[in-house]
Amino acid sequence: MNFSFKKNTKGQIGIAFQENGVTIGQCSWKQGMYLHPEVKHIEINPHEMTAECWRDNVSKSSMIGSDCVLSLPPSLVHHQVLRLPNMSIEELKEAAAWEMVDRLGVERPELQLDAIPIGSGGDVLAIAINKSSLSELLDPLYCAGLRPTSIEPHCVSVARTLSLLHRRQSDQSIVRSVFDFGLHDSAFMVLAGDSMVFYKHLEHSGTQLIESIASQTDVTIEQAKKMLLASQENREDGDISKAVRGATRSIHEAIATDAMKCIRHYGVTNRGPLSTQLIVTGSSGWNTHLANALTAACGQEVVIESSVTHIQPLPSSVTNEKNWHIALGASLASMLQQRQRRDSDCAIKDAA
């Protein structure tokens, strides 16, 4: 998948861009475990990252090599789920490219384009990024001595992180739902084995929760952040917990309703087993009130990402960093899927 520039190598530097920050990470994977994971978050507008800034941050970490994979959010890379007729992968990519050109109203030579088949219902995730915007991100990296090997959307990196133990052909019947809840936006996915078979971008964000808490409890934004952080613990009593629950109830209910609709849509449009577990991840991912709302609406076991088997051993120094799961997912982009997998099942061509 993705916009490849050269052959990938294992354990590359994964770079997760966000609206107001960048997370870099690197790891290896062996015998079902992460090896030497390292993650570093940088609070800066990605467009303000100079070559000197890149060199300084990479040199201060223990990350090695110059090959890197870029993972971009919806604010930087346009992506749209399209319903297209049954055709070859080359024809799908071509049809999706022209559809994105028409929707964006941009000349095709100005865009870098790709497409990923998802599920069995004819859906395709079409991806487009303006080449001038791409150059703004790539030029400082090249000047810093880094070598981007491919680009992928956040959802692909997240899917890879949560699929590392499901890469065999027999794992394709293991279906999980994923709600990736970020500070600026969110996404709902369904994974079958290591293939993404459903995707929908959602407008819900952690920022909405924080602003709602601040306005309804008459506290500052920083105080609201601390109150929301406290609700990650499994405590339903206490004045703070009750205040957070009341201030965020409508947002959590809206999220739960959208999640339920996504699960139903997947069940109608895709053949195969339904998910029995919903994994909540993302920089704004877990709090008890959201988990309760999702459980009630979706009728599935709702779990936090840190309870997933291969993620449990990761140190807090990794999992406490914003977008760690995206950066490490991008780092492992070169891990190949099983050779015997049918091409029509390969929803994420470079997935781990």
Beta bridge partners of 301: 277
229-261 tens-digit pLDDT: 887 765 556 788 889 999 999 999 999 999 999
Please provide residue 287's backbone torsions phi and psi, each rounded to the nearest 5 degrees: -155, 155
Portion of the chain with pLDDT greater than 70, in percent: 91
Topology (CATH) of 1-165+313-352 = Nucleotidyltransferase; domain 5 (3.30.420)
Q: Which residue has the higher pLDDT, 8 or 128?
A: 128
Interacting residues of 282 by C-beta distance below 8 A, sequence separation 6+: 179, 180, 181, 182, 186, 206, 325
Over 90: is that where the pLDDT of 122 sits?
no
- Which pLDDT score is estimated for 334? 87
10-25 tens-digit pLDDT: 689 999 999 889 999 9
336: pLDDT confidence band, cut at 50, 70 and 90?
low
Q: How do the domains of the chain map onto residue ranges?
A: 1-165+313-352, 170-308
Tally Cβ neighbours within 10 Å of residue 272. Answer: 14
Q: What average pLDDT does the segment 321-343 reach?
A: 75
- Which pLDDT score is estimated for 237? 61
Contact between 17 and 73 under an 8 Å Cβ cutoff? The reply is: yes
Residues 289-312 as b or e (16 or more Cβ within 10 Å = b): bbbebbeebbebebbebeebeebe
At 83, list the tokens. Answer: 């319903």
Q: Which residue has the higher pLDDT, 313 or 86?
A: 313
- Which pLDDT score is estimated for 127? 93
Do the domains at 1-165+313-352 and 170-308 have one common CATH topology?
yes
Over 60: is that where the pLDDT of 72 sits?
yes
User: By CB neighbour count within 10 A (0-12 exposed, 13-18 middle, 19+ buried), where does 195 fall?
Assistant: buried
207-223 tens-digit pLDDT: 999 999 999 999 999 99
Q: Please report where in the chains the tokens 């929760």 appear, as a residue.
A: 209
Over 90: is that where the pLDDT of 277 sits?
yes
Topology (CATH) of 170-308 = Nucleotidyltransferase; domain 5 (3.30.420)
Which among 161, 151, 229, 170 has a CA at the least distance from the CA of 189? Answer: 161
Q: Please report where in the chains the tokens 């629950």 appear, as a residue.
A: 245
> Which DSSP helix (H) or strand (E) runs through 70?
strand 67-72
Q: Which residue has the higher pLDDT, 350 or 128?
A: 128
86: pLDDT confidence band, cut at 50, 70 and 90?
confident
- Which pLDDT score is estimated for 236? 59
5: pLDDT confidence band, cut at 50, 70 and 90?
very low
134-155 tens-digit pLDDT: 999 999 999 999 999 999 999 9
- Which pLDDT score is estimated for 2? 53
- Which pLDDT score is estimated for 273? 85
The overall average pLDDT reported for the chain is 88
Q: What dihedral angle (degrees, nearest 10) is formed by the CA atoms of 224, 226, 228, 234?
A: -150
